[in-house]
Amino acid sequence: MDCKDGLDLRSFLASVSQQSARECLDIDEQLDAEWELAACTVGFENKMRVPVLKYTHVSGTEFPVVHNVCSSLPRIARAMGESAEHLERRLSSAYDTLIPPEKQPIGPVRDVVLLADELDLYKLPNIRYTESETSSYISAACLVAKDPVSKVLNLSFHRLMILGKNQLAIYMTPGGHLHEIFTKNQHRGEDTPIAAFIGSHPLWSLGCLAAGSLQLDEYSVIGGLLGQPLEVVSALEDESLWVPARAEFSLEGVIKHNVDAPEGPYGEAFGYTSRKAERPVIELSSLSHRSNALFQDIVPGHQEHMVMTSTAIKVHLDRTLKAEYPWVSEVHLPAPMTAYVSAKSIATSDDVKAMIDETLRRERFIKTISIFDDSVNISSAKETQKALAVHVQAHRDLVIIEGLTGNGLDPSEVDGMTTKWGVDATATSVKEGDVNANALPAEVLQRVDINGILKRALDKANKPS
């Protein structure tokens, strides 16, 4: 297939393998897609190992399965020849350095094209992750859809449950961009044309997760991340939809506006199993893939899943909050749906509470937010828990907002609604009183050579008696 060389899943795997064979492992044992792949990947993770894993012999399919592609930002950065800190800056600046995709007449993703009766989803790896699931899922597909009003293409990840040879059930986050596009078309009595690509360079995946308005062109964000246009080809039926030319798979069809099917249960990102519910059905008209295609998969609720979601949300929050509130200095996401923000001393209590209120109402995937002085290391559980204990009076510093639309992944939601809360832990009231933090005299800290004392003590302890 004639196509200009570029960054793709295969080039990433080659780079990682070349840098460290221990970071990219081939698993040659025969394993079943139902639970055994997930068990192996989770087993590695439990031993504090998250290498990229390529399962070469998976029962019931000819396609190898790849896990943990996005499980480590430092590894992605090294594959790009840069530091993790530089990669995070690159992720943030990509919003400001948009590079539109470059259309190609054809690409490797069209090496093999299956239409109509040839199409059979059961020939793909049919993967299950938890004992609760009653059907197989596709977890690493990025869906492409076009907003019928703005005509902008939208990219987003969604879980897809296999219903039949050419049918899938899809879960769309309520209020999310694809759900908004689907609803607009549904009100017109029209199906929603989609394409779903599988097998991506990790920068494609991080670009697909870019947070912003429906008008944000994620393909151009990906270009900004890559530093060059992403090569794309038109979908086979709806030429206004594009898929990466060097993706491993492309599934194309429509989300039916008037057909639902039971979907779930599914072991979701936050570690809990979703409930079964009626969801829209995707009807596929084609499936194409590269020669010797690799099937990328994500084990839900584990490290790769959390790295992908938390990175995208953190970059978005960091950009948004710093632009709107000049006193914000740092953002940290210590757990699902949880944000910690570091505030400079110029912030007042009213400033902090206004930011808490606006952020909780706007951000679907943030349920609780805590604001700390910039003297507190918000990456330290000990320091943040101490600040929450000694800086906060709940009747004064807690903001609670009831009756907000949830994200659909939180098992505590009631009928799709949630209560969110935020905490002002900046100690504004403490600063106004006569309370001072414990501190040694600065000149003593400078005078005492702690490192030297420690070294001499260790040297003495290590000497034979």
Segment 125-137, tens digit of pLDDT? 998 888 887 889 9
Q: Are 383 and 376 in contact (CB under 8 A)?
A: yes
pLDDT category of residue 441 using cuts at 50, 70 and 90:
confident
Arithmetic mean of pLDDT, 354-358: 94
- Count CB atoms within 10 A of the CB of residue 148: 14
Confidence bin at 141 (pLDDT 50/70/90): very high
Q: Inform me whether the pLDDT recorded for 304 exceeds 60.
A: yes
What pLDDT, in 10s, does the model give residues 91-104? 888 888 899 999 99
Helix locations, 293-367, DSSP H = 303-324, 349-362
Can you tell me whether residue 339 is helix, strand or coil? Answer: strand
Q: Which candidate, 260, 49, 287, 272, places its Cα nearest to that of 166?
A: 287
pLDDT for residue 388 is more than 60: yes
Note if the bond before 202 is cis, omega within 30 degrees. Answer: no
Fold classified for 9-303: Pnp Oxidase; Chain A (2.30.110)
So what's the pLDDT on residue 149? 92
Higher-confidence residue: 123 or 316? 123
Judged by DSSP in three states, 139 sits in coil
Higher pLDDT, 218 or 346: 218
Look over the chain and give the mean of its residue pLDDT values, rounded to a whole number.
88
Ranges of each domain in the chain: 9-303, 325-432
Q: For 176-187, how does the pLDDT look when each residue is reduced to its tens digit (9 = 90+)? A: 899 999 999 999
pLDDT at 1 > cutoff 50? no
Q: pLDDT tier at 138 (50, 70, 90 boundaries)?
A: very high
**Whether the Cβ atoms of residue 3 and residue 10 lie closer than 8 Å to each other:** no
pLDDT surpasses 70 at 431: no
Block residue for tokens 């010797």: 292
400, 351 in Cβ contact below 8 A? no
Give every CB contact of residue 440 below 8 A, 6+ residues apart in sequence: none
Question: Of the CATH numbers 3.20.20.140, 3.30.70.2740, 1.20.59.10, 3.40.1670.10, which one belongs to the domain with range 325-432?
Answer: 3.40.1670.10
| pLDDT at residue 241 greater than cutoff 90 | yes
* Nearby residues of 293 by Cβ (< 8 Å), 6 or more positions away: 63, 112, 199, 248, 249
Half-sphere exposure of 86 (CA within 13 A, CB side): 9
Residue 320: partners with Cβ closer than 8 Å, 6 or more residues away = none
Q: Which residue has the higher pLDDT, 463 or 172?
A: 172
- On the question of a common fold for 9-303 and 325-432, the answer reads no
What was the pLDDT predicted at 432? 52
Burial bucket for residue 398 (CB in 10 Å: 0-12, 13-18, 19+)? middle
Predicted confidence at residue 3, as pLDDT, reads 37
Report which secondary-structure segment, H or E, holds 39.
helix 36-46
Q: How many helices (H) and strands (E) does the chain have?
A: 14, 21
**108-125: average pLDDT:** 95
User: Residue 434 pLDDT more than 60?
Assistant: no
What is the mean predicted confidence (pLDDT) over 341-347?
87
